[in-house]
Structure 1
Amino acid sequence: MTAGLLTRTASLVLGLALAGTALPARAETAILVDVGTGAVLAQKDATHRWYPASTTKLMTTYVALEMIRNGEAAADTPVVMTRRAADEPPSKMGYEPGSVMRLDNALRMIMVKSANDVSVAIAQALGGRDREAFGRFIERMNDTAARLGMKDSHFVNPHGLPAPGQFSSAKDLALLAVALRRDFPSESDLFRIEALFTGTDTIPNHNDLLGRYPGTDGMKTGYICASGFNVVTTATRDGRTLVAVVLGANSVIQRAKETAELLEKGFAQSVPEEAPLLASLPASSGPPADVSKEICSKEARTARANEQKLADKTPDTPYLTPLVRKTTRAPQVVQVGLGGAAGFGDIKPGVTLIPAYGIPLPTPRPTWPPVPTAVPPAAAADEGAIGDAPARGRVVSAEPAPAAQP
């Protein structure tokens, strides 16, 4: 990196010592990009492959928005909670199988709640609503990644839960963030929703900079043990938008602190003439880094608990930096729920629940032993004789009808 580029902040390199317990120091990957020019303002190992965790849902959203733009779907396209989707691990909305929601509400749920069940339901709804639908949607995610130049990314699911073959990089996630801002400017509100209201519960966004760091207007967090604490953040000031990607932070607090410090340094300077372009960064190779032992060890959990205790003692700066302040207002809330979708096939318009969805329809069991059914004389003659006796009848029994598939 040239002298004109930003240097990595110390907090991105070293864990914070708290109450005698230090958060484990290890390699992180991060990048800061000027969205308007595509210039890289700062980066550290930005092409190293990493588990994206729930930042994967940015690609799920890109594909959905592109399908709406192309007329392949609409904001009110019905998304049905299938049994497969309902079985996904948390985070999830927890709707029962057969629940129906609008696509636009489903997208809000995966951006704010990071709902894994809804992510799978979207993939199945937009992939074609048959047994191959999920696979077709994943294929489309990978085709889109290739088209956007995301050479260090591959997806096997739409939510980011750990799975072999699911990986990305800070560089690629920045490419995706820039593409979302560039290609869908009218949908930018989707990425800065501070909270959802379901009619009974308020669900806050996991992006801790929204409403706390000036100018923050997106996008998505992610966490699994193998990845650490990830975030893709956009912020806009005076008409200038930056995207910061931090992957592998030690904690929620460090993720917010490091991202805010990175953005602040970016806004403090103009774009250096010698700054490389995001698309020019090289591709990487090999498996993604796995930091499970460092992130989910007993020592790391203790360190995070101690860090939180320290943060609780400074309520005005809950993320241990004056750049991220305590909110002084209620979060801006968007209401979501079931129903309101258009009709599709046998899905009735506006329905909230398809009764007995995915449960096989009862069919009569065949009698055993079968009851002989007399065959008309003409038919008997056609059947011919068995042995020396004329055929007087034949046994007729029906197989049960195939069960209805979910």
Structure 2
Amino acid sequence: MRYRHFPGILLAGAVALAMLAGPALANPTIVFDLKSGRILQHQDAFKRWYPASLTKLMTAYVTFRAIAAGEVQLDSPIKVTKHSAGEPPSKMGFKPGSVMRLDNALKMMLVKSANDIAMAVGENVGGSQAAFAERMNAEARRLGMTGSHFVNPNGLYSPEQYTTARDLALLVMAIRKDFPQYVPWFSIEGLAIGKKQISNYNLLIGRYPGADGMKTGFVCSSGFNMIGSATRNGRTLVAVVLGEQSAVSRAETAARLLDQGFATAQPNWITIAALPAYGDTTSVNDLRDELCRKKPAVEQSEAAAPVGDKEAPKSPYQEKLDHVPTLVAVGLGGATGPKPKAMLDETGQEYADVPLPTWRPDVPPPPGAEPTVVGSATAAQGDEPAKVLN
């Protein structure tokens, strides 16, 4: 059973009738006022969902906290490891050993949604994928994200990585309030890397009035996810949309929800933190069969698919920007700051990116040398680099 909630008795006249009479939304959503944290509407807000690249918001938050704690700086080097270089697209494709500034890495992660860079950030800031995931989960617990669990920093599919619309709303509140200095990064229209230009996957940026964030995500199992934010007349609203059918439809849904929110007077409604749990809070929907086995490959992507039928209705979120996009230059090099503390041993030496030696399968290991397996095999998405002194 799906749950859709409007604090309708507090809505004004025609706006209330229009919103209540509208068609029921299909998947988890929540719309809230950023300043007050008060909810304008929500549906299945506690339903577990695969976050896909919305995960990168938690990766950014953990990293912002590490910067504030003095563990790393914006000009610190982020090195691409063998493990991170092997992550599947979306990716930058830099070779192992490539080095960039942390701030450039974060911009690539947030705008390009680069999985290899997100993994590199996690490994460098946390020391390893597993250690960084522990920090992600610790922050989730601290923020009250009771329906979330993380095993990787980029959002690639794992049955053990999930979240909820309500939890993502809490995360957005924390990012925007704790680290306002980084807010402009979430509205970057595109990146310039040499002669290459990379557009933001967020189709609201540059198209929806007042749009200023924040992130999109897609894996087959999650569908098309989006967190869209916009500011008008000093009021910022955020819409969390999960499980849409395409890059365009998620932008349209987010825009519609934001439109409804801006048309509503600021109410004295319940806050995100105070919202009681309801509905199905344990199972996770999987859209893989619906989205990736019945649709062509061109539609299985973060990017908006082109419209082939000239007679088909078009969306403003399917068109190119009506202005020359403002690009932010990023690239390799320029990392003059201190190395991340997680990548140094107690003597200040940097750990090497080399594989952990294993025993030959045809030779039994000596007593006491058997490896210890921690966690489940489903959480692993590749070999993590071992910490070995140079």
TM range (shorter): 0.7 to 0.9
Partner residue, 2:289: 293
Write the letter of the residue equivalent to 1:296. C
CA RMSD between the two structures:
2.8
TM-score scaled by length of structure 1: 0.75
Deviations 1:197-225 (A, max 9, x none): 00120000000000000000011000011
Q: Is the 8 A contact 2:105 2:117 kept in 1?
A: yes
CA positional deviation for 1:139: 0.6
Partner residue, 1:172: 167
The alpha-carbon distance between structure 1 residues 307 and 30, as it changes in their structure 2 partners (threshold 3 A), is farther
Q: Is the 8 A contact 2:45 2:166 kept in 1?
A: yes
Partner residue, 2:360: none
Task: Tell me how many residue pairs correspond in the alignment.
Answer: 332
Partner residue, 1:255: 250
Q: Which runs of 5+ in 2 are unaligned?
A: 341-351, 356-386
In the alignment, the residues of structure 1 paired with residue 21 and residue 73 of structure 2 have an alpha-carbon distance, to the nearest angstrom, of 43
**Aligned residue runs from structure 1 range 194-213, under 5 A:** 194-213=189-208
Matched, 1:159 2:154: yes
Partner residue, 1:277: 271
The secondary structure found in structure 1 opposite 2:238 is: strand
Write the letter of the residue equivalent to 2:221. A
Deviations 1:334-389 (A, max 9, x none): 0000111125579xxxxxxxxxx8579xxxxxxxxxxxxxxxxxxxxxxxxxxxxx
Q: Is the 8 A contact 1:40 1:277 kept in 2?
A: yes
CA positional deviation for 1:302: 9.5
- Equivalent of 1:329, from 314, 323, 332? 323
Q: Which runs of 5+ in 1 are unaligned?
A: 14-26, 347-356, 361-402
TM-score scaled by length of structure 2: 0.78
Partner residue, 2:74: 75
Partner residue, 1:379: none
* Identical amino acids, percent of aligned pairs: 47
Q: Is the 8 A contact 1:31 1:46 kept in 2?
A: yes
Larger radius of gyration: 1
The secondary structure found in structure 2 opposite 1:32 is: strand
CA positional deviation for 1:289: 1.1
Q: Is the 8 A contact 1:219 1:232 kept in 2?
A: yes
**Aligned residue runs from structure 1 range 302-341, under 5 A:** 308-310=307-309, 317-319=315-317, 327-341=321-335
Write the letter of the residue equivalent to 2:190. A
Deviations 1:134-160 (A, max 9, x none): 222111111111111111111000000
In the alignment, the residues of structure 1 paired with residue 329 and residue 153 of structure 2 have an alpha-carbon distance, to the nearest angstrom, of 23
Write the letter of the residue equivalent to 1:134. Q
CA positional deviation for 1:326: 5.3
Matched, 1:54 2:49: no
Write the letter of the residue equivalent to 2:293. S
CA positional deviation for 1:318: 3.6
Q: Is the 8 A contact 1:30 1:45 kept in 2?
A: yes
- Equivalent of 2:234, from 196, 221, 239? 239
In the alignment, the residues of structure 1 paired with residue 287 and residue 337 of structure 2 have an alpha-carbon distance, to the nearest angstrom, of 45
The alpha-carbon distance between structure 1 residues 309 and 12, as it changes in their structure 2 partners (threshold 3 A), is farther
Q: Is the 8 A contact 1:12 1:258 kept in 2?
A: no
